[in-house]
Amino acid sequence: MTDKTVDARGLNCPMPILRAKKALKEIPVGGALEVLATDPGSMSDFDAFAKQTGDELVSAERLETHFRYVIIRRS
Amino acid sequence: MTDETAQNRKSLAIIVSKGTLDWAYPPFILATTAAAMDMDATLFFTFYGLGLLKKKLDLGVSPLGNPAMKMPVGGLHLGMPNLVAALPGVTAGATAMMKSMIEKKGVATIEELRDIALESGVKLVACQMTMDLFEFKKEDMIDGVSFGGAATYLSEAVKADVNLFI
């Protein structure tokens, strides 16, 4: 179960990251955010984002039509 | 946030010297992303970059003298000879084409990125010397902009982890 979902499908860099950050601020620390994206660069970007912010990327999946990420807010 | 984590925050400083539609993207993309990654970001707008702070943006892009500008047309990438690019209306046409590609590919507009930059605390500094040189008034610029000179930029740049000139 996630606390919130950001649908960034169809949006290009850097919008999936910017939308995800905005949503992360709206969930409690320890909460989980689901992000859906179609930007092929997002695989690398969400990994880099989580490494820098300290949030935890617990899942990064390549589905048939899009990517799905789950990030736990850690700070 | 404690004082200690505030001091450990990474930061980005960029000199923004160009004001065409294409060159407007890198500084705003990087500054908004830096802010999203918990970094402090400062954009210092000078010379032609200063126009990016105007209330009403009217950005353009020209293929004239820009042989790298090859637009995707029917699977090919086509450039334009300078002699053609110099004709009246070509800059407007190329700008319209770029804007339509931007929309189609889900790329944010500069207005959108600029709003997010302001919301997320990116510092936007207008070069006062350029304001005077090009006869801009403070009221021509969006709210939230501060004004300063080389020393203002350097005081941010000297402590920044990432410094760029665009």
| Domains in chain A: boundaries | 4-72
Superfamily of domain A4-72 in CATH is TusA-like domain (3.30.110.40)
Residue A31, exposed/middle/buried by CB under 10 A (0-12, 13-18, 19+)?
Answer: middle
Q: Is A52 on the interface with B (CB under 8 A)?
A: yes
Chain B residues with CB-CB distance to A18 below 8 A:
32-33, 36, 116, 120
| Confidence (pLDDT) at B8 | 79
d(CA B41, CA B110): 17
**Average pLDDT for residues B107-127, to the nearest whole number?**
97
Give B147's pLDDT tier (boundaries 50, 70, 90).
very high
Q: Are A14 and B106 an interchain contact pair (Cβ–Cβ within 8 Å)?
A: no
Tell me how many degrees the CA angle B166-B88-B72 measures, rounded to the nearest 5: 60
- Which are the contacts of B8, defined by CB distance < 8 A and separation ≥ 6? none
Nearest to A11 among B106, B116, B120 (CB): B106
Q: Average pLDDT of B86-91?
A: 96
Identify the DSSP state of B46: -
- A68 CB near a chain B CB, below 8 Å? no
- What pLDDT, on the 0 to 100 scale, is given for residue B5? 59
What pTM did the predictor assign?
Answer: 0.94
Fold exhibited by the domain B10-62+110-165: Hypothetical Protein Ychn; Chain: A, (3.40.1260)
3-state secondary structure of B70: coil
DSSP designation for B109: P
